[in-house]
Homo-oligomer: A and B are copies of this chain.
Amino acid sequence: MHNNKPSLYTSFSPALIDLYDLSNAIVVIIDVLRATSTIATALHNGAKSVIPVDSVGRCIEIARQVDGISAGERDGKIAEGLSYGNSPFEYPAEFIGGKTLVLTTTNGTKLLHMALNRGALHIVTGSFPNLSAVCDYLLVENKPVILGCAAWKDRVNIEDMLFAGAVVNRVKDHFSINCDSSQVAETMYLSASADLFAFMKAKNASHYHRLNNYGLEKDIRYCLTADLAPVVPLYTNGQLVKG
Protein backbone atom coordinates (compact mmCIF):
# COMPACT_ATOMS: atom_id res chain seq x y z
CA MET A 1 0.00 0.00 0.00
CA HIS A 2 2.82 2.34 1.02
CA ASN A 3 4.40 1.96 -2.41
CA ASN A 4 1.28 3.13 -4.19
CA LYS A 5 1.52 6.55 -2.62
CA PRO A 6 3.06 9.26 -4.78
CA SER A 7 6.40 10.68 -3.69
CA LEU A 8 6.93 14.06 -2.04
CA TYR A 9 10.22 15.97 -1.96
CA THR A 10 11.20 19.39 -0.64
CA SER A 11 13.82 21.54 -2.35
CA PHE A 12 15.20 24.30 -0.14
CA SER A 13 16.63 26.41 -2.98
CA PRO A 14 16.39 26.81 -6.77
CA ALA A 15 20.04 25.67 -6.75
CA LEU A 16 18.83 22.24 -5.58
CA ILE A 17 15.77 21.77 -7.79
CA ASP A 18 17.68 19.84 -10.46
CA LEU A 19 18.18 17.01 -7.97
CA TYR A 20 14.53 16.11 -8.40
CA ASP A 21 12.53 14.70 -11.28
CA LEU A 22 9.86 17.30 -11.99
CA SER A 23 8.27 15.54 -14.93
CA ASN A 24 4.84 14.17 -14.01
CA ALA A 25 5.09 16.10 -10.71
CA ILE A 26 3.18 19.00 -9.25
CA VAL A 27 5.63 21.73 -8.28
CA VAL A 28 4.55 24.10 -5.52
CA ILE A 29 6.43 27.40 -5.77
CA ILE A 30 6.91 28.84 -2.26
CA ASP A 31 7.90 32.46 -1.74
CA VAL A 32 6.19 33.28 1.54
CA LEU A 33 7.58 36.83 2.02
CA ARG A 34 5.75 38.07 0.05
CA ALA A 35 5.29 37.04 -3.60
CA THR A 36 3.18 33.90 -3.27
CA SER A 37 1.15 35.36 -0.39
CA THR A 38 0.33 38.38 -2.55
CA ILE A 39 -0.48 36.19 -5.56
CA ALA A 40 -3.00 34.14 -3.53
CA THR A 41 -4.48 37.32 -2.08
CA ALA A 42 -4.91 39.06 -5.45
CA LEU A 43 -6.58 36.01 -7.01
CA HIS A 44 -8.78 35.47 -3.97
CA ASN A 45 -9.84 39.09 -4.24
CA GLY A 46 -10.93 38.60 -7.82
CA ALA A 47 -7.89 39.41 -9.96
CA LYS A 48 -8.39 37.91 -13.43
CA SER A 49 -4.82 36.64 -13.37
CA VAL A 50 -1.34 37.28 -12.01
CA ILE A 51 1.62 37.32 -14.39
CA PRO A 52 4.90 36.76 -12.53
CA VAL A 53 7.93 38.40 -14.17
CA ASP A 54 11.57 38.52 -13.18
CA SER A 55 12.50 42.13 -13.90
CA VAL A 56 11.18 45.65 -13.73
CA GLY A 57 11.71 46.14 -17.48
CA ARG A 58 9.67 43.08 -18.32
CA CYS A 59 6.98 44.12 -15.84
CA ILE A 60 6.52 47.48 -17.57
CA GLU A 61 6.44 45.84 -21.00
CA ILE A 62 3.91 43.13 -20.12
CA ALA A 63 1.67 45.42 -18.09
CA ARG A 64 1.40 47.69 -21.13
CA GLN A 65 0.59 44.75 -23.43
CA VAL A 66 -2.15 43.29 -21.23
CA ASP A 67 -3.39 46.58 -19.76
CA GLY A 68 -2.45 45.30 -16.33
CA ILE A 69 -1.23 46.63 -13.01
CA SER A 70 2.56 46.81 -12.85
CA ALA A 71 3.93 45.95 -9.44
CA GLY A 72 7.23 45.29 -7.77
CA GLU A 73 9.69 46.61 -5.23
CA ARG A 74 13.37 47.26 -4.85
CA ASP A 75 14.75 47.74 -1.36
CA GLY A 76 11.30 48.00 0.19
CA LYS A 77 9.99 50.73 -2.13
CA ILE A 78 7.90 50.59 -5.31
CA ALA A 79 10.41 50.15 -8.11
CA GLU A 80 10.92 53.06 -10.48
CA GLY A 81 8.56 52.81 -13.43
CA LEU A 82 6.06 50.53 -11.65
CA SER A 83 2.75 51.55 -10.10
CA TYR A 84 2.32 49.34 -7.05
CA GLY A 85 4.33 47.33 -4.56
CA ASN A 86 4.54 43.75 -3.27
CA SER A 87 2.25 44.05 -0.28
CA PRO A 88 -0.87 41.88 -0.18
CA PHE A 89 -2.68 44.84 1.42
CA GLU A 90 -2.41 46.79 -1.83
CA TYR A 91 -4.77 44.38 -3.56
CA PRO A 92 -8.25 44.47 -1.98
CA ALA A 93 -11.21 43.27 -4.04
CA GLU A 94 -12.45 46.76 -4.88
CA PHE A 95 -9.13 47.53 -6.54
CA ILE A 96 -7.87 44.30 -8.08
CA GLY A 97 -11.20 42.65 -9.03
CA GLY A 98 -11.26 41.83 -12.74
CA LYS A 99 -7.74 43.18 -13.33
CA THR A 100 -4.47 41.51 -14.32
CA LEU A 101 -1.58 41.95 -11.89
CA VAL A 102 1.91 41.86 -13.40
CA LEU A 103 4.14 41.16 -10.41
CA THR A 104 7.92 41.43 -10.30
CA THR A 105 9.33 38.64 -8.14
CA THR A 106 12.93 37.63 -8.69
CA ASN A 107 13.28 34.44 -6.69
CA GLY A 108 9.82 32.97 -7.26
CA THR A 109 9.75 33.68 -10.99
CA LYS A 110 13.18 32.15 -11.46
CA LEU A 111 12.06 28.92 -9.82
CA LEU A 112 8.77 28.90 -11.71
CA HIS A 113 10.59 29.14 -15.03
CA MET A 114 12.96 26.35 -13.98
CA ALA A 115 9.98 24.14 -13.15
CA LEU A 116 8.39 24.98 -16.49
CA ASN A 117 11.57 24.21 -18.44
CA ARG A 118 11.99 20.92 -16.64
CA GLY A 119 8.58 19.70 -17.65
CA ALA A 120 6.56 19.95 -14.46
CA LEU A 121 3.06 18.51 -14.85
CA HIS A 122 1.42 21.36 -12.96
CA ILE A 123 2.82 24.45 -11.26
CA VAL A 124 0.96 26.12 -8.40
CA THR A 125 2.02 28.68 -5.81
CA GLY A 126 1.84 28.16 -2.07
CA SER A 127 1.90 30.38 1.01
CA PHE A 128 0.27 30.38 4.41
CA PRO A 129 -2.75 32.40 3.19
CA ASN A 130 -3.60 29.49 0.88
CA LEU A 131 -2.14 26.59 2.90
CA SER A 132 -5.29 24.47 3.19
CA ALA A 133 -6.30 25.10 -0.40
CA VAL A 134 -2.91 23.88 -1.64
CA CYS A 135 -2.95 20.83 0.64
CA ASP A 136 -6.47 19.87 -0.48
CA TYR A 137 -5.39 20.27 -4.10
CA LEU A 138 -2.36 18.00 -3.62
CA LEU A 139 -4.49 15.34 -1.94
CA VAL A 140 -7.10 15.39 -4.72
CA GLU A 141 -4.51 15.30 -7.52
CA ASN A 142 -2.60 12.41 -5.91
CA LYS A 143 0.50 12.96 -8.06
CA PRO A 144 4.20 13.24 -7.13
CA VAL A 145 4.89 16.57 -5.42
CA ILE A 146 7.94 18.83 -5.24
CA LEU A 147 7.73 21.60 -2.65
CA GLY A 148 10.01 24.22 -4.15
CA CYS A 149 11.28 26.96 -1.87
CA ALA A 150 12.11 30.12 -3.84
CA ALA A 151 14.70 31.08 -1.19
CA TRP A 152 16.64 34.36 -1.43
CA LYS A 153 19.21 34.52 -4.21
CA ASP A 154 19.51 30.75 -3.80
CA ARG A 155 20.17 31.02 -0.05
CA VAL A 156 17.89 28.91 2.12
CA ASN A 157 15.36 30.88 4.11
CA ILE A 158 13.35 29.96 7.15
CA GLU A 159 9.89 31.11 6.08
CA ASP A 160 9.71 29.08 2.86
CA MET A 161 10.93 26.05 4.80
CA LEU A 162 8.23 26.62 7.44
CA PHE A 163 5.53 26.60 4.78
CA ALA A 164 6.93 23.44 3.19
CA GLY A 165 6.91 21.90 6.66
CA ALA A 166 3.30 22.89 7.22
CA VAL A 167 2.34 21.12 3.99
CA VAL A 168 4.35 18.01 4.89
CA ASN A 169 2.69 17.96 8.31
CA ARG A 170 -0.77 18.05 6.74
CA VAL A 171 -0.39 15.64 3.83
CA LYS A 172 2.33 13.21 4.91
CA ASP A 173 0.06 10.21 5.45
CA HIS A 174 -0.88 10.31 1.78
CA PHE A 175 2.61 10.49 0.30
CA SER A 176 5.75 8.39 0.31
CA ILE A 177 8.38 10.72 1.80
CA ASN A 178 11.99 9.60 1.59
CA CYS A 179 13.54 13.03 1.86
CA ASP A 180 15.53 14.50 4.74
CA SER A 181 14.65 18.04 3.63
CA SER A 182 10.95 17.30 4.12
CA GLN A 183 11.68 15.92 7.59
CA VAL A 184 13.72 19.00 8.44
CA ALA A 185 10.97 21.30 7.17
CA GLU A 186 8.32 19.55 9.23
CA THR A 187 10.49 19.57 12.37
CA MET A 188 11.09 23.30 11.91
CA TYR A 189 7.38 23.91 11.39
CA LEU A 190 6.47 21.98 14.53
CA SER A 191 9.06 24.01 16.50
CA ALA A 192 7.53 27.22 15.19
CA SER A 193 3.83 26.53 14.79
CA ALA A 194 2.71 27.89 18.16
CA ASP A 195 3.66 31.37 16.95
CA LEU A 196 5.29 31.63 13.54
CA PHE A 197 5.88 35.37 13.85
CA ALA A 198 7.58 35.06 17.24
CA PHE A 199 9.70 32.22 15.87
CA MET A 200 10.86 34.26 12.88
CA LYS A 201 11.69 37.13 15.18
CA ALA A 202 13.51 34.95 17.73
CA LYS A 203 15.58 33.34 14.98
CA ASN A 204 16.32 36.76 13.51
CA ALA A 205 15.39 35.31 10.12
CA SER A 206 17.18 37.35 7.46
CA HIS A 207 14.05 38.18 5.52
CA TYR A 208 12.06 38.98 8.65
CA HIS A 209 14.83 41.37 9.57
CA ARG A 210 14.87 43.01 6.13
CA LEU A 211 11.10 43.54 5.89
CA ASN A 212 10.74 44.58 9.49
CA ASN A 213 13.33 47.29 8.91
CA TYR A 214 11.06 48.58 6.15
CA GLY A 215 8.19 48.82 8.65
CA LEU A 216 6.38 45.82 7.20
CA GLU A 217 5.51 43.87 10.36
CA LYS A 218 1.85 43.88 9.34
CA ASP A 219 2.78 42.25 6.01
CA ILE A 220 4.89 39.62 7.74
CA ARG A 221 2.09 38.75 10.15
CA TYR A 222 -0.40 38.44 7.29
CA CYS A 223 1.97 36.27 5.23
CA LEU A 224 2.35 33.87 8.18
CA THR A 225 -1.41 33.50 8.76
CA ALA A 226 -3.16 30.45 7.34
CA ASP A 227 -6.12 30.40 5.03
CA LEU A 228 -6.99 34.06 4.58
CA ALA A 229 -6.89 33.62 0.78
CA PRO A 230 -8.11 30.07 0.05
CA VAL A 231 -7.33 29.69 -3.65
CA VAL A 232 -4.96 27.53 -5.72
CA PRO A 233 -3.01 29.73 -8.14
CA LEU A 234 -2.38 27.49 -11.14
CA TYR A 235 0.14 28.44 -13.81
CA THR A 236 -1.45 28.21 -17.27
CA ASN A 237 -0.29 29.84 -20.50
CA GLY A 238 2.09 32.22 -18.75
CA GLN A 239 -0.37 33.33 -16.10
CA LEU A 240 -1.46 32.28 -12.65
CA VAL A 241 -5.21 31.82 -12.45
CA LYS A 242 -7.57 30.39 -9.87
CA GLY A 243 -7.28 26.60 -10.24
Contacts and interface: CB of A to CB of B under 8 A. Distances in A.
Interface string A218-239: 0000000000000000000000
Given A156-B181, A183-B204, A187-B191, A12 B12 contact: yes
Copies of this chain, complex-wide, total: 2
Interface in A1-40: 12-13, 15-16, 19
A180 B158 contact: yes
A25 to B, nearest CB: 16
A96 to B, nearest CB: 31
A63 interface: no
B205 A181 contact: no
A181 B160 CA distance: 12
Contact of A156 (B158, B180, B203): B180
Interface string A148-185: 00000111111001000000000000000011110110
B191 A178 contact: no
B206 A178 contact: yes
A188 interface: yes
Contacts of A157: 180
Interface string A88-108: 000000000000000000000
